[in-house]
Chain A
Amino acid sequence: MTVTLAIFLFFAALAIVSAVLVVLQKNAMRSVLYLAFTVLAIAGVFFCLQAEYLGAIQILVYGGGIVVLYVFVIVIANLKEAVPERRKLFPKIFIVAMPALLAAEIALAVFKSRPAAAAGPEGGLELGALAEALMTTYLLPFEIASILLLAVLIGAVIIARRRSLHDSR
């Protein structure tokens, strides 16, 4: 066992546990907290996978952006008190079983077939290679992504704005 592997395993375990806790919490605020943990753990995983840039973006965007956004929404919408009922037991077991089954099948499928070996030099994992790929081969998606962000920006504002002064909160 190498050091990388050990760190990886640590972060993986953390991510799994946090994820489970996110799903199981009754309190939305607590879920957000665990989500933060999960995000950070996954960022760590990324670092272990030599995707440093990705990890950094993960922390910045997810941790700094989305989690904070979640907190804000919960506070504004005052959702910590609005805790809906749980569902009945039987459907829940079925509902859990389904994704489990799916996962098992995918695992089966993946592990049965050997993942193909690297098909030749792909450019490496350095930041420079990443930047080059992003700016040349995947330029179009890059630009579209920025347009998408713009659209989302405008759209979200439109959807969430107050229709009139009589709208509460």
Chain B
Amino acid sequence: MIPVNLVLGLGLLIFSIGLVGVLVRKNLIIMLMSLELLLNGVNIILAGLGCHFKSPRGSVFALFVIVMAVSEAAVGFALVLSYFRQKQRADADELNELKG
């Protein structure tokens, strides 16, 4: 049996890496990819707990998370494409019109 702590630790690690990626990178596409990592990390935790508790619930929730990841990726791409068409760049640092 896989110790559940290990799984949780793995999930947490992946989650953190993804978080770092979202915060550090300026490239919008890579930001989105880091976002996928975040969600994957969560899925690992869910699956691990489902396994630990011998319950299908972990998988069910992980499934829903995947659905949402997909939705968010699709919409995000649409936005990036639309933005890129206007500005020819995909730099997060230029999205500063909320500056106040």
Contact = CB atoms under 8 A, between A and B. Distances in A.
Nearest to A2: B1
A31 B30 contact: yes
A124 B54 contact: yes
Contacts of A50: 51
A151 B32 CA distance: 20
Contact of B40 (A39, A74, A92, A95): A39
B66 A155 contact: no
Interface in A22-50: 22-23, 25, 28, 31-32, 35, 38-39, 42, 45-46, 48-50
A124 B56 contact: yes
Nearest to B28: A79
Nearest to B81: A160
B67 A28 contact: no
Contact of B26 (A85, A130, A152): A85
A160 B26 contact: no
A49 B7 contact: yes
Given A58-B66, A102-B19, A111-B5, A51 B33 contact: no
| Contact-residue bracket for chain B | 35 or more
B57 to A, nearest CB: 7
Interface of A: 2, 4-5, 8, 12, 15-16, 19-20, 22-23, 25, 28, 31-32, 35, 38-39, 42, 45-46, 48-51, 53-54, 57-58, 61-62, 65-66, 69-70, 73-74, 76-77, 79, 82-87, 92, 95-96, 98-100, 102-103, 106-107, 110-111, 115, 118-119, 121-125, 129-130, 132-134, 138, 141, 145, 148-149, 151-153, 155-160, 162, 167-169
26 contacts: A5-B2, A31-B30, A32-B33, A38-B14, A49-B7, A54-B47, A54-B63, A62-B40, A62-B66, A79-B29, A84-B92, A98-B23, A110-B5, A119-B53, A122-B53, A122-B56, A123-B55, A129-B56, A134-B63, A145-B67, A148-B67, A152-B70, A153-B74, A156-B75, A156-B77, A159-B81
